[in-house]
Structure 1
Amino acid sequence: MTIIYTTKFLYKYFLKPILFIFDPETVHNLVINLGQQLGKSKFSKKLLNRTYNSNHPTLSQELFGITFKNPVGLAAGFDYNGELTQILGSVGFGFQSIGTVTFSDYEGNKAPRLVRLPKSKSILVNKGFKNDGIKKVLNKNIQNWEEAYQVGISIGATNSPDCTTPQSQIEDIVNSFRFLKIHRLYNKLAYLELNISCPNVLGSGSLADPNHLKQVLEGIKKLEIRKPLLVKLQLEIPWKKARELIQIMIDYKVDGVIIANLLKRRNATLFEPKELDTVRFLKGNFSGAPTKDFSNELIEKAYKEFGHKIKIIGLGGIFNAQDAYEKIKRGASLVQLITGMIYEGPQLIAEINMGLEKRLKEDGYKNIKEAVGVKSIRS
C-alpha cells in the first residue's frame, strides 16, 4: 500500500512533469522499450507482482469460460504491436487487448498522432491503426505470458487506399482471422476482438453499417473459430442504431460488446476551451474524461435491454476506482482503460483493484458479479 502511494506521488510530482515535456509518441516508445526489458527479468516481474497484484477473490470471475483475476484490462490502442504481454499482468491488469492489428502493416497517419490535453484529461488520437501487421505481431513480437493473465487480440481493417470499400475491409478482416486461426498462438489467446469503431481510418464507419456487420460476422462464422468474440462499438451512435448492431451481434452469438471508442465531437463544454483551441486544425478524436458520460449512458441502455444476452466491457474515462465501479454498476462485467494510466501513473490499476475491493465490501457484495448492472436495474 505504501509503495503504491509512493509511486503515485513520484509519478505526479516528478516523473509526469518530465515525461510531458516530450512528444507523446516518443514517451510511448520509451515505455514500450522499458516494459520489454522489465518483462525479460524474473526479478522485476516478481517485485512488481508483489507490489501491484492483490488477486483478491472478490474480483475474480468467469466469463465466456475464461477466469479473469480482476475486471481491469488494458484497451487496444496502447500495446498495438503486442510487445508487453510479459509485463502488464505484473502491474495489476487482469487482461489486455493487443492491437488493433490489421492484415497488412501501417506506419500510422500523418503526425502528430497523439496530442495531450492535460486540463481536459484527454488525448487527441490519430494513429489510424498503426501496427506491424498481424504476421509480424504474431510471429515476432508477442512473447509468452502467465497463464492467469488473459490476452486477446483486436482485429481491424488495414488502413490503406486499397482497403476503403466495405467489401475490401470485410475481406481484409476475415483474412486476419483466417491467419490467426492457424497460428501457434491461437490456442493460448483468451479471446478475439473485432474493431469496427475506429474513426481515424480511411472508410471509417462503413463496418458499423448493420448489413456490413452481418457480412463480416458471417465471414468469421464460416471460419469456425472457437474463441470468445468481442466487438468494439462506436461511442457517438444513436441508440436506435446501437440497438440494431447489438442485436446482430447476439444473433451471431458474439460474446461481448465493448462500449465504446473515441469521441468525435469538439464541444467546448467537454474540454478546457483554450486546450481545445490548440488542436482545432488537427485531425483526430478524443479519449479520456470527455468520453465518460457518453460511455456510461450507452452501457446502461445496452445492459437494460441486452444484459441477459451479451456481456458488456466498459471503456472510456476511467481515472479511479469510482469511475470503474460506476461502469460496473451500470452493466459492465469488465472495464478497460489507457488514458487514465497515462495521466495517473502505472500504479492506477492497483489503486482501482483495491478501491473496487473496498466498495464491494462496503456494499455487501461477495463477488464483483453481484454488482454488475445494479444501478441500471434500479433506475
Structure 2
Amino acid sequence: MHKYLKHQYLTMLCIGGVTTMVACGQKSGTKTETTPDSTAAPVETSKANSDYKPAFPGQTRIGSVKTKTPYEFKVLSNDLKSPWGVTSLPDGRLLITEKAGVLRIATTDGKLSEPITGLPAVKLAGQGGLLGITIDPDFSNNRMVYWVFSEQRPDGTLTAVAKGKLSADEKKIENATVIYRATPAHKSDLHYGGRILFDKTGNLVVSTGERSDLETRPLAQDLKAALGKVLRITKDGQAAPGNPFAGKPDARPEIWSYGHRNVQGLAFHPTTGDLWETEFGPRGGDELNRIEPGKNYGWPTITYGIEYSGEKIGDAIQKKDGMEQPVYYWDPVISPSGITFYSGSQIPEWKDNLFIASLSRTHIDRLVIENNKVTGEERLLADEGQRFRDVTEGKDGALYAVTDMGRLYKISKK
C-alpha cells in the first residue's frame, strides 16, 4: 500500500472506530467511573516476576478506572523514523527528535518538515541517539532549543546536553553547543536516560541512566559520578544555584537526586509544582517517583525487580533507611518512557492525571494521583500495538504521542 494511502486509511480507521464508542472501546452508554473504586480489579492481570510485597497498600496494582468523557484518537503521521522526544512550540506545532539525529517540526494535522540541520553528531547505537528535547521559556524571542543525545568520546559514550538557535527559516540549528556531559563515559549503548525540561526558575532538569552494566550500576549511588541521576543545571551547563550538594566535598554540585536506574520520564505537576519521574526497572520494578532534592531513590541497593536471568539483585531487599520508596511500581514492567501531566480543559476528569508512554506493554498508561498516591490506573490505545515513546500535552489541550514505529498520534475529546 502506498505510504500516503496507508496514512489516510489508518486515520479514518481510528476515527471511524472511535466515533461509535465511548473511551475507545467502551460502548456508548456504558457506565464508567472517574473516581477510584477500591473493589475494581487492577489493569494488570499477569503474574509478577517475584514474590516481593509492596511497602504500603496501593503501591502496585491499584484498582482500574475508566474515562467517561468520549474521546478519539487519530494517527496524524506514519512517516517519522524512530521518534524519541516531542515538545510543543508556542504556535502549537510540535518539535520532534528522531534517534538517528534528525529534528523535525510537525503540524497538528501531521505534516512534517524537512530535516533540520546543524546538530552535533549523535552516536546511534542501541538505546543511544538523539533523545529528549525542550525549548527555552522565552523561545518566542530567543528561539533557543535544548536537547539530549548520546555522544561518542575517546573512552566510550555518554549522555550529553546541547543547545542552539532555531533559524528564522526553521531549516537549521545555529551555533549548536554542547553545554554538559554526564561523565564518566562508558563503552555501552544502554541506559542514557535522556529527558530534559525547564523548571520554574529557568534552569534545566536532565535525567541520566547508569549505563546498565554491573560495573557501572554502583555509580548510581556515587555522588562523584553523573550516572543514574537527576541533574539540575543552568542554560550554560553549570550547576544551578540552590542544588542540594552545592559546596559539599566528594559530590557533584549539579546532582538533584540519585539512585536511579534509567530515567526516561520527567514532568512537573501542574498544580503542586512537584517533579515526578518514571524509570525502568530490570525484570519487574519499573518505578514512579516524586523527586525531592538530595534524596536517594535506591538503585541498585533496593528494587522491586530481579535480574533478567531470574537471579536476585544484590541482597534482594526492597526497603532501607535513607532510601526512598517509589510512589508506585509495575511488575511485570510496562517500560515507562516519556510522561506528561494533563492540565487542559478538553477532558476535565483527566485534570492533573499522569500519562505515561509505555514501550513493552504498548499502551499509554493513565494514573490518577491524589495526595501523592496513585488511586487509579487505565490503559489507553492498548489495541494499537505500538511502542509509545513519548507523550505531551499540546497547546490545544489534546495529547500528542509518538511511537517507535514512526507514528504521531493525537488524542482529544470527541
Identify, as 1 or 2, the structure richer in strand: 2
Higher relative contact order (CA 8 A, sep 6+): 1
Which structure has the bigger radius of gyration? 2
TM-score by length of 1: 0.31
